Amino acid sequence: MPSPSPTDPLTHERVHGLTVAEAGRVLATPAAYADEGLLHAALALLRREAPVHYVQADGYNPFWAVTRHDDVQAVERDHTLWLNAPRPVLRSAALDAALQERRAQGKALASLVHLDEPEHRPLRAIAADWFRPKAMRALQDRVRELARRHVDLMAEHGSTCDFARQIAAPYPLYAILALLGLPESDYPLMLRLTQQLFGHDDRDKGSPAAGTPGAHMGALEELFAYFHDLTAARRARPTGDLASCVAGARIDGRLLDDTTIASYYILIATAGHDTTSSTVAGGLEALIRHPDQLGLLRRDPGLLPTAVEEMIRWVSPVTSFMRTARADTHVRGVPIAAGESVLLSYPSANRDEDVFDEPFRFDVARDPNRHLAFGTGVHYCLGAALARMEVAALFAELLPRLESVELDGEPAWTATTFVGGLKRLPIRYRLT
């Protein structure tokens, strides 16, 4: 008998035998995001039995898990009722407390994802032009060159590499840092710090203290210091890049304060990084596990745009964002009190049986593909066009040169409740 597919929810519900309460707690268990079978079993159960479910998990402040596509979309689109500010992402209670203390000292991150209207809109407008199609076209040659360089790097590694760590991790960071205008000599530092910030629940990533609020705060402090200096340098001598644009931007005639600027850089450098790395690595893993789809895409490169969209849906690297109710309300008839938070599960919305035909089938020709991996509404991912371009550029470069590819060991996923995905993808390949 074939072994169960890691993404077959029914098999895994039976294997894991979860109750609804246990399934809810899976969402607040970093290690569960490193076990795709368990995660999708839990999400499928919640979608079916308790699509709006109150989760009380050790070490976390309680929240409502929202797992159906329609509900995630409805909450995101009502930004007057559902606020980002109090609790935009799921963190441990200890980290929530540490961040609250920082906020009281005026040192907390104040980026787009931490803000609501009216502050959010003008701040978003500052960088928006840099992510529009015209700016993307200007960046295209640079991204293609980076894609080529990273496929060349695979060739230099010979016939095996850890694709997640050696290729997919650096590639998108370099693209985003090029857009920001940072010197290439600082890229390795940024790579370490962004991984420490997002992979803080995972001991393989970041510092030996990973999993503690200290690891997260340490990365944050270093990033703040770096971007503080960058702001001063760009104000003194603008260099026509995104960093200079943010450093020189004014709202109501006033320059942005240091914390807001550092938060802006940090958001762009971090949001643009692990998300896209995970999609590139997870996209290749999906192609390896579905050789028919790899063959189809190689024979018909015109399918690349739908294939990229399917990789983004399949991987859904952002596991969730949160919103907090401004007033008493309901979601799918379930009463939610003012001040309570909902967790919007993108991997779940993107496997919703009511929206996707055979959601557990990886289909490079899937069309339509109404995935919510980039969110929706006023906080819709600012870098969506860039992410699509980067993923497409890498596969456009790789696929024509890839004579064969297979797994060369067990892949491993990051243990985290925020931006997840593959941290190891050992592969064996032949490139032309």
Residues that bind ligand HEM (CB under 6 A): 76, 112-113, 124, 176, 267-268, 271-272, 275-276, 279, 312, 317-318, 321, 346, 373-377, 379-383, 386-387
- Which residues have CB under 8 Å from 138's CB, separation 6+? none
Residue closer to ligand HEM (CB basis): 29 or 275 = 275
The DSSP code for 54 is E
Q: How far is the CB of 2 from ligand HEM (least distance, A)?
A: 30
Q: What is the spatial distance between Cα 357 and Cα 408, in angstroms, rounded to a whole number?
A: 32
Residue closer to ligand HEM (CB basis): 210 or 394 = 394
Pairing of the two strands 341-345 and 63-66: parallel
Q: How far is the CB of 295 from ligand HEM (least distance, A)?
A: 24
Residue closer to ligand HEM (CB basis): 261 or 267 = 267
Q: What is the dihedral of CA 201, 206, 209, 210, to 10 degrees?
A: 0
Whether the ω angle into residue 118 lies within 30 degrees of 0, i.e. cis, is yes
Residue closer to ligand HEM (CB basis): 117 or 141 = 117
Residue closer to ligand HEM (CB basis): 13 or 352 = 352
Residue closer to ligand HEM (CB basis): 211 or 359 = 359
Residue closer to ligand HEM (CB basis): 60 or 130 = 130
The number of angstroms, rounded, from the C-alpha of 373 to the middle of its chain's C-alpha atoms is 8
Using Cβ positions, the residue closest to ligand HEM within the complex turns out to be: 383
Tokens standing for 53? 């479910």
Q: How far is the CB of 108 from ligand HEM (least distance, A)?
A: 16
Q: How far is the CB of 177 from ligand HEM (least distance, A)?
A: 10
The DSSP code for 378 is G
Residue closer to ligand HEM (CB basis): 232 or 380 = 380
The number of angstroms, rounded, from the C-alpha of 213 to the middle of its chain's C-alpha atoms is 20
Residue closer to ligand HEM (CB basis): 49 or 78 = 78
Q: How far is the CB of 418 from ligand HEM (least distance, A)?
A: 10
Q: Cα angle at 401 between 364 and 291, to 5 degrees?
A: 35
Residue closer to ligand HEM (CB basis): 294 or 343 = 343
Tokens standing for 265? 């850089």
Q: How far is the CB of 220 from ligand HEM (least distance, A)?
A: 17
Q: How far is the CB of 210 from ligand HEM (least distance, A)?
A: 23
Residue closer to ligand HEM (CB basis): 27 or 267 = 267
Residue 279, Ramachandran bin (φ over 0: left; ψ between -120 and 50: alpha; else beta): alpha
Q: How far is the CB of 120 from ligand HEM (least distance, A)?
A: 6
Strand partners of residue 53: 65
DSSP string, 138-172: HHHHHHHHHHHHHHHHHHHTTTEEEIIIIIITHHH
Q: What is the spatial distance between Cα 329 and Cα 338, in angstroms, rounded to a whole number?
A: 7
- B/e letters for 123-133, b = 16+ CB within 10 Å, e = fewer, are bbebbeebbee
Report the 10 Å Cβ neighbour count for 410. Answer: 8
Q: How far is the CB of 341 from ligand HEM (least distance, A)?
A: 14
How far apart, in Å, are the Cα atoms of 45 and each of 8, 50, 353? 12, 8, 12
Closest CA to 263 of 112, 386, 86, 387: 112
Q: What is the spatial distance between Cα 30 and Cα 199, in angstroms, rounded to a whole number?
A: 10
H helix and E strand count, the chain: 17, 14
Q: How far is the CB of 49 from ligand HEM (least distance, A)?
A: 25
Tokens standing for 423? 């941290």
Q: How far is the CB of 286 from ligand HEM (least distance, A)?
A: 14
